[in-house]
Structure 1
Amino acid sequence: MYTVLTHTITHMTMIDNAPDPVKETYMRMKNEKGKKIELKVIGGNYYIYAARGVWDKVKKKPVKKTVLMGKIDDNGIYREKKPKSIFSSTRVYEYGNSQLAWNLAQDMYSIMEKHPYRDQIIAMAIVKAIDPMPLRIVSSRYQKLYISRTLKPDLDPDELSRILGYVGNHFPDLYELFRKLMEPGGFLFYDMTSIVSYSRNLRLAEKGYNPDHEYDNQVTVIIAFSVNSWLPVAVDVFYGSIKDIKSLGYFIERFHDDNMGFIMDRGLFSESIIREFRRMKMHYIVPLRRNSTLVPYKVKFDSAFMYNGRPVQSTRKSSRYGYIYIFQDPMMRAEEESTILRDVASSMKDMEYFEDRKESLGVFAIISDLDRNPSEIYEQYKSREEVEQVFDTMKGDLESDKTYLRDNEKVKGFFFIVFLALRIRFRILKVLKEYNLLGKMSVNEIIFELSKMERIVEKNGTEYFAAVPKKVERIAGLFKDIIHMG
């Protein structure tokens, strides 16, 4: 108690003896930073330190650790501490991917103008969109990006964890932000039911039933997409299993549109879910299991279409639950047939096994209330796979970040960052669609290749581009209005 009191009196004396401009700058920073900072006088100069508690494994108690942030001169001008370069005064930054992500996040940056942690949130989203990283190394990854020269948030992992908690605690306020993103034309809802929480401390993670028949601690994440812009416009997180469709009411009721559809995860079809969708006046697209009694053993296909360069056969029939759309991908059928026959040849399976399944090879069925051309239904469901692929690259962070995601609010904050990263990646996906490059190039490939467009910054402030490979130039040309080379 004596030590703490002495420290407090000494610190107050430093402030009282400091020039007024120094006091004003210090107090302003203390109010803005939202964390504990201290003013220290060393050799007649005034320095700002960030203070935080760190667990001491030896003493088995928290101890205070201070880190130099910068210096305030007698005129009250604050100068941030310059990072030291160990090997060279010249810095090389990833420019292409950095500027692409930053410019694609500008709409969200503007909408979040009044958010107290806007810079940290956008920086986390940019890193997650470019190269998903655990919170503990977000700062290191961000420092390699050119945007770190202008957007300079505090990315200390403990600070980021606290910010995620703040976002989760204020999640209802985000609906005002979501409303600004919404537009007429309808919405598609995607459930990410396969997301499983690994932290025993997460109250959100109740026992749920996932598509792999496993009862586990499960967090259900629902993402809403605009049909018009094909971009994510909202996200929310729920307890347990998606099978309790009523729990989505709070989320869905905020979308005042007559044209809303729900694209479900595999293997979650049930009569009760269909009845609930109908009661809520929502369209639905639900995949059926191969052994579903709603799918006939032998199917006579009556049409065909192309999807991503592959031919697909299709047909449609009516049922009391809606229309059943049945598809067969001949290339997939051939692959599945070859796999089984190889097993037969190696005596792992017999021909009876093959005969029992050969009619269903490459067959895929969907039930929906929508009266559409089969190719439209197929394309809308396949769009879900694009969402899943992007989401899968990020959900592993739940495990690596479990130290920092110890409660519901932080998990909600985490998925808001994922939502922002998805918006960035789906804007890239839209460009690929516009240039008919889907299936030829991926979002990951775009981001990786553009990382090779580097900006070199000399110690004296001189900047210039490193040599840009031809392939990177061609890719940058797809985004010529977004990546500025000036």
Structure 2
Amino acid sequence: MEDWVRAWLEEQRRKGEKCLEIKYIQNKPYVYRSTSVYDKTTKSPKKVSTYLGRLTKEAGLIPKGSRGSRPLHSFRTVREYGNAALMTEEFTDLLPVLQDAFPDYWQELVVLTFTRVTGYTPLSRVADVWDKLDNILDIKPDCDPRTLSRVLTAVGGDRTAQQMVFQHLSSRAQHLVYDLSFVFSCSDTVNLAEFGYNADDIWLPQVNIALFSATDTGLPVMIRGLPGSVRDVATLVRSLAEIDAPGATLVLDRGFVSEANENLLRESGLQFVLPQRRNSTRYETRIHLTDHFFYHKRLIHAGKREVDGVTLYLYEDVDLVAEEEKTLYRLLEEGAIDRETLNKRLKRAGRILIVSSLAAEPREVYDLYKSRSLVEEHFAVFKSLIQADKLYLRDATAVFGHIFVGFLCLYLYCRILNRIKKVGMTAHLSPHGLLLKLSKVYAVRSGEERAITEVPKQVRKIAERLELNIFPNV
């Protein structure tokens, strides 16, 4: 019996009430008056209980047949529980780091992350979306759009606090992939946005985004906003100074190929994997293809050779050779190339040359090279997650804050994606799809009481397969 129930019962007895009894039904106290009468059949006393009403801590005894007067705060609220519980579970590891790095703003950062990972949510809608979610963390953020705008500016200007988050994530990484991408800006006041090269040849001011991703954890590690005209390896070296990844191997793309960049990488002491362009003179180096392996059922011939302090790795994809040969001969028949160009290109058809500071087996370096697709996937997700407010932010610090929030959304998205990948369900389920399905489970609150609604059969099966321990009795 709870203390407040016992106190109420003792108070009634002091007032002269007799024969009162408390019975718990579904963990709720009910009041009965219990007496005994003589049963002529059994010739013994028989207990008779008369139901008087329900006992509540706020209103006391609510007599039978009366609904009682409910206090204002006891009205029921229904909020989405399943998706909020999943996001809370996957974000738990990063919460202590955010609390240490941003003691004044971490709650607003959590709200921005949770509301934006599920879809397009500008600042003006954050409060409404947050109000739909069950507040499992029991936090009290200020969701006023003006406050959130100030938070973006404050967070964007605190690079030291951001580095605390990046260093926490990078400390677990062994293999990093690095790349640059961009987002356009229509703001006249963001001096970070500059005209620069982009693959779409669109002449608009842009902000370059530098992103590190860890291939061994499948998570983003660090992000930086850069002027749109900056695209060189110097940004890479400066970015590495902000994270904690001793001994990590960097995997780059052909856009970083140059003698100056390679020398800079060597001088920095970084382990790197750098694919070469098809017109590289290094293809003329004789390398015997003495090794072979299969990559996704494709036969790959491989060989390596040490030259000038680095190792050249040469690969020949048998399927790619056939495809490129067909393309080259078709170009010859169409008159797009001559016979001399054909013969020159045939020598390099289906071949990939990689320069690396690593002395490893060809298969290991090839796997690292192929892992570059991870950062490209992360960029695609990141750009979809930062659509809200990105075009009209007022200054560079607000842009940095917006990019950092997008990074947190990407981190949470990848955590959920990793859980789906682990059980092989990526063909049928995406993180957004999983959050939508879980949103069918609600938390119902009435005063201090809280209950979780029934879990649909399909959602229960998905939760069991993903090993989600967020639902009672699932």
CA distance in 2, matches of 1:144, 1:336: 54
State the shift of 1:274 in Å.
0.8
The corresponding residue for 2:430 is 445
What secondary structure is seen at the aligned counterpart in 1 of 2:176? strand
Instruction: After TM superposition, list the pairs within 5 Å mapping 1:19-418 onto structure 2.
Output: 93=80, 95=82, 97-113=83-99, 115-131=103-119, 133-139=121-127, 141-142=129-130, 145-146=133-134, 153-183=141-171, 186=174, 188=176, 190-191=178-179, 193-199=180-186, 200-210=188-198, 217-225=205-213, 229=217, 231-240=219-228, 243-255=231-243, 258-296=246-284, 301-308=289-296, 310-320=298-308, 322-332=310-320, 357=345, 360-396=348-384, 401-418=389-406
Q: From the superposition, tell whether residues 133 and 348 of structure 1 become closer, same or farther in structure 2 (CA, over 3 Å).
A: farther
State yes or no: 1:480 paired with 2:467: yes
Q: From the superposition, tell whether residues 102 and 149 of structure 1 become closer, same or farther in structure 2 (CA, over 3 Å).
A: closer
CA distance in 2, matches of 1:292, 1:181: 36
- Give unpaired runs (5+ residues) of structure 1: 1-78, 83-88
State the shift of 1:232 in Å.
3.4
CA distance in 2, matches of 1:334, 1:111: 51
The number of residue pairs the alignment matches comes to 394
Equivalent pair of 1:94/1:452 in contact (CA under 8 Å)? no
Q: From the superposition, tell whether residues 475 and 359 of structure 1 become closer, same or farther in structure 2 (CA, over 3 Å).
A: farther
CA distance in 1, matches of 2:146, 2:359: 51
- Give unpaired runs (5+ residues) of structure 2: 1-71
Q: What does the per-residue CA deviation read over 1:426-475, in whole Å, with 9 as the maximum and x for residues that have no partner?
A: 3345445655x3xx626962441452232145686653134232xx5554
- 408-417 or 379-388: which moved more? 379-388
Q: From the superposition, tell whether residues 187 and 304 of structure 1 become closer, same or farther in structure 2 (CA, over 3 Å).
A: closer
Equivalent pair of 1:142/1:148 in contact (CA under 8 Å)? no
State the shift of 1:292 in Å.
2.6
Q: From the superposition, tell whether residues 189 and 457 of structure 1 become closer, same or farther in structure 2 (CA, over 3 Å).
A: closer
The corresponding residue for 1:420 is 408
Over the matched positions of the two proteins, sequence identity in percent amounts to 27
State the shift of 1:203 in Å.
1.8
Equivalent pair of 2:213/2:219 in contact (CA under 8 Å)? yes
| 2:104 alignment partner AA | P
State the shift of 1:131 in Å.
3.3
TM-score of the pair, normalised by structure 2: 0.67
State the shift of 1:270 in Å.
0.5
State the shift of 1:306 in Å.
3.6
- 101-110 or 211-220: which moved more? 211-220
Q: From the superposition, tell whether residues 220 and 261 of structure 1 become closer, same or farther in structure 2 (CA, over 3 Å).
A: farther
The structure number with the bigger radius of gyration is 2
| 1:93 alignment partner AA | E
State the shift of 1:269 in Å.
0.4
The corresponding residue for 1:64 is none
The corresponding residue for 1:16 is none
Q: What does the per-residue CA deviation read over 1:37-82, in whole Å, with 9 as the maximum and x for residues that have no partner?
A: xxxxxxxxxxxxxxxxxxxxxxxxxxxxxxxxxxxxxxxxxx99x9
| 1:480 alignment partner AA | E
CA distance in 1, matches of 2:270, 2:196: 23
What secondary structure is seen at the aligned counterpart in 1 of 2:293? strand
TM-score of the pair, normalised by structure 1: 0.66
